[in-house]
């Protein structure tokens, strides 16, 4: 049976399954995926007790902020939605026109870098960590209104040095790549 002819019961079970795999899918993306109207997806979510996207992001973020050792919650640029200290992390930055150049609507690079840097620092299993070396590349522009999803991975550690790669994507297109060497210090 095609997705368009999918029964409500099957759509509900598929929706629950997909939301477990990727809680950050929008109603619009679900609408395209199941080939039904956005309103149908919203009604399905209501019936199943699935909160809207912003609430799902907030819930996931609240469960991860307490794990971070090296930064305070407010110092992380974007919403921290996944964190495995010493291994990996994911953050989401909802951009708007306050982050962009007025003339072009392109998000200023320092905001994109700040998202990558703060995620790289947050993922480190150390109480104090600083960027020692950064090799970065802006690959595509990010426009106001885009949702930037950053994924960080600790590639290796050597003594007090952490090698962290961060990739940021907008709609599955890579917009930024950063390879960082972070140095951890003892607290003073």
Count up the domains in the chain and report the number.
2
Tens digit of pLDDT for each residue in 9-60?
999 999 988 887 777 778 888 888 899 998 999 899 888 888 887 777 666 6
Q: In the chain, what's the furthest Cα-to-Cα distance?
A: 64
In a 13 Å sphere around the CA of 91, the CA atoms on its Cβ side amount to 28
Q: Please, are residues 25 and 19 in contact by the beta-carbon 8 Å criterion? A: yes
**Quick one: average pLDDT of 76-85?**
86
Residues 44 and 61 placed together within one structural domain of the fold: no
Arithmetic mean of pLDDT over the chain: 86
Q: What's the pLDDT band for 1 if we cut at 50, 70, 90? A: very low
Residues 80 and 173 placed together within one structural domain of the fold: yes
Residues 133 and 65 placed together within one structural domain of the fold: yes
- pLDDT for the residue numbered 131: 92
**Quick one: average pLDDT of 124-149?**
93
Residues 80 and 148 placed together within one structural domain of the fold: yes
- pLDDT for the residue numbered 61: 57
Domain of 113, CATH number, reads 3.10.129.10
């Amino acid at each position: 049976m095609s997705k368009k002819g999918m029964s409500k019961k099957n759509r509900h079970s598929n929706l629950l399954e997909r939301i477990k795999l990727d809680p950050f899918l929008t109603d619009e993306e679900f609408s395209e995926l199941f080939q039904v109207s956005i309103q149908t997806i919203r009604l399905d979510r209501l019936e199943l007790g699935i909160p809207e996207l912003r609430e799902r992001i907030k819930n996931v973020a609240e469960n991860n902020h307490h794990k971070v050792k090296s930064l305070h919650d407010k110092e992380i640029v974007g919403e921290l939605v996944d964190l495995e200290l010493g291994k990996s992390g994911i953050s989401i930055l909802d951009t708007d026109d306050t982050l962009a150049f007025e003339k072009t609507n392109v998000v200023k690079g320092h905001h994109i870098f700040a998202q990558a840097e703060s995620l790289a620092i947050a993922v480190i299993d150390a109480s104090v960590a600083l960027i020692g070396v950064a090799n970065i590349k802006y690959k595509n522009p990010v426009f106001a209104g885009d949702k930037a999803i950053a994924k960080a991975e600790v590639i290796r550690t050597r003594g007090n040095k952490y090698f962290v790669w961060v990739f940021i994507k907008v709609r599955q297109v890579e917009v930024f790549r950063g390879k960082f060497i972070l140095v951890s210090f003892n607290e003073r």
